[in-house]
Amino acid sequence: MNVVVVNNFDRMSEEVAKIMQTQISRKPESVLGLATGSSPLCVYRLLGEYHERGLDFSQLTTFNLDEYVGLAPDHPQSYRYYMEENLFSKVNVNKAKTFVPNGVAEDLEEECRRYEDLIKQAGGIDLQILGIGTNAHIGFNEPGTEFGTITQVVDLAPSTIADNSRFFDSPEEVPTQAISMGIKSIMKAKNIVLMANGGSKADAIAAAVKGPVTTKVPASVLQLHPSVTFVVDQAAASKL
């Protein structure tokens, strides 16, 4: 496990964006696994700037980690909407090759199977970007999730709902379920980059990097991956 400690959020974003730029330049037809939330916002802005300077996104395939159950793609808090607003509309990606789970599918279990099959058909993920929850979840794989899980419907932990409530007008509006790539799905990626910033993530980062590998700390499984890099700012690294 490679741990890169940088000064602040901006430097973290620059480091992750450069890793993604290198991947896309080296292999234009890369399959990227993408994350949402506040952590990658600046990364996506930087990728838009790289595109303006000539970086070509046209051959990429992308898969998002997760989507809320019950939110349509055009809902302002859906992750499809987030990706359109913050990245897809800023670059020349082929929209037909950008995949986000359908949180309003009639058959959610079938949607999970379909999504897993799509990743397999694409040849697997070359580079997976992750954030981390304050409870060390990756994707929406909450503490207690078995390491062998693939894409599935998950119940969100109370701490995750509380963390996500800042994006909604009221806590009651926050979805309580999501479709998420499973831990096994994530671990199949050839390369993984996890980004974290702020003191609120320090305990999770310390447990993921230095603690025992346990389902109580989902991100700790990354210790077993052959090619993983943590990019964290000084506050998130403060307990390492």
**What positions carry a catalytic annotation?**
66, 135, 137, 142
Query: Would you list the DSSP string of 167-196?
Result: GSSSGGGS-SEEEE--HHHHHTSSEEEEEE
CA distance 33 to 139: 11
- The identity of residue 58, as a single letter, is S
Is the four-CA dihedral 77, 155, 166, 181 of positive or negative sign? negative
CA distance 63 to 55: 19
Q: Are 161 and 52 in contact (CB under 8 A)?
A: no
Q: Which of 37, 3, 44 is nearest to 20 (CA)?
A: 44
Distances 27 to 74, 153, 156, 182, 240 between C-alpha atoms, Å: 31, 32, 35, 25, 34
Q: Are 97 and 62 in contact (CB under 8 A)?
A: yes
CA distance 218 to 145: 7
CA-based Rg of the chain, rounded to a whole angstrom?
16
Q: Are 20 and 127 in contact (CB under 8 A)?
A: yes
